[in-house]
Amino acid sequence: MDNLKLSAQKREAVGSRQSQKLRKNGWLPCIVYDSNGKSFPIQIQRHNFELLLRSQEGQNFILDIDIEGDKARKVLLKDTQRHPINDYLLHADFLEISMTRKLKISVVVRLVGESIGVTQQEGVMEQLMRSVEVECLPGDIVKEFTLDVSNLSIGNKLCVRDIQADPKLTILTAPEITVVSVQLPHIEEEKPAEEVVEGAVEGQPPAEGAEAAAAETVEPGKEKEAKENKEKGKDGKEAAPAEKGKEPKEKGKETKEKGKEPKEKGKTPKDKTK
């Protein structure tokens, strides 16, 4: 294992504004967590740290941070934060470790080989899990696990139990969880065109055509009854005669005529005077 070293300074001021100032001046704001869960802020040269990241495969690597005015600490890179658009490095977290104490880390699973289910059977391979949880001593950390998918046919899969790991490492992820599988390509079936209602008249809505078709399927001997029901209306009740609707008008007319009687009676005294 390479002995990586990095110089750092204590970071007194914290907050988003202070962090932005540090980045403008070429510094990277970071946090170191000790074994007791306590944290303290530091700052490192961003350019130097970027070069170190490029020289390492993966992020599970150990380095010595020499903090100015404090003791050197052996740490494990825990996480990095980058800008979502320009990939600019914004922040880093480190975990202080002991070389004699086991720790839990995530190890990447990389697929190797070409599946016969894809190359010969036109199947589709899907990786469902890209990393697994592992417990080990810092000196036994591995950068990645590999899984050979060459013999995977359609319908086959590889699970966590199929990962070949050194006995010094304990894989904590459940062994029955699927890591990769090969399946038939998913093809969406075309929906059949809606059937035209039989008996529908051209130029009429489907509902009218349906009514016409229903009318044609009347049982023999009931044509007369069906015709009477049609005349009565959909609910089977006879329609009210049109003359009934005029009754209120006639009654109103009678009332109007009755209203004239007092006027005629009023003429009687006048006639008597004559």
The string of pLDDT tens digits covering residues 236-258 is 444 444 444 444 444 444 444 44
pLDDT at 56: 82
pLDDT at 265: 47
Higher model confidence: residue 162 or residue 186? 162
CA pair distance 114, 129, nearest whole angstrom: 18
pLDDT of 234 strictly over 80: no
Please report the pLDDT score of residue 72 as a whole number.
Answer: 86
Q: Give the model's confidence band at 267: pLDDT under 50 very low, under 70 low, under 90 confident, else very high.
A: very low
Higher pLDDT residue, 42 or 206? 42
As a whole number, the mean pLDDT across the chain is 79
At residue 266 the predicted structure's pLDDT band, cuts being 50, 70 and 90, is very low
What is the pLDDT at residue 134?
Answer: 97
Q: According to the model, what pLDDT value does residue 231 have?
A: 57
* Mean pLDDT on 26-42: 90
Q: Band the pLDDT of 270: cuts 50, 70, 90.
A: very low
Question: For residues 196 and 254, what is the distance between their CA atoms, to the nearest angstrom?
Answer: 58
Spatial distance between the Cα atoms of 132 and 164, rounded to a whole number of angstroms: 12
The residue written with tokens 């690597």 in the block is 61
Edge-to-edge strands, sheet with 103-112: 144-148, 103-112, 131-136, 170-171
| pLDDT, mean of residues 184-198 | 63
Residue whose tokens read 């922040």: 91
Amino acid 83: pLDDT: 93
Q: Domain 4-97 belongs to what topology? A: Ribosomal Protein L25; Chain P (2.40.240)
At 13 the pLDDT is 77
pLDDT at 153 over 90: yes
Architecture of the domain made up of 104-183:
Beta Complex (2.170)
pLDDT tens digits along 217-231? 545 555 555 556 555
Q: Is the pLDDT of residue 61 over 90?
A: no
Q: How far apart are the first and last CA of the chain?
A: 144
User: Per this entry, what is the length of the chain?
Assistant: 274
pLDDT at 261 > cutoff 70: no
Task: List the domain boundaries for the chain.
Answer: 4-97, 104-183
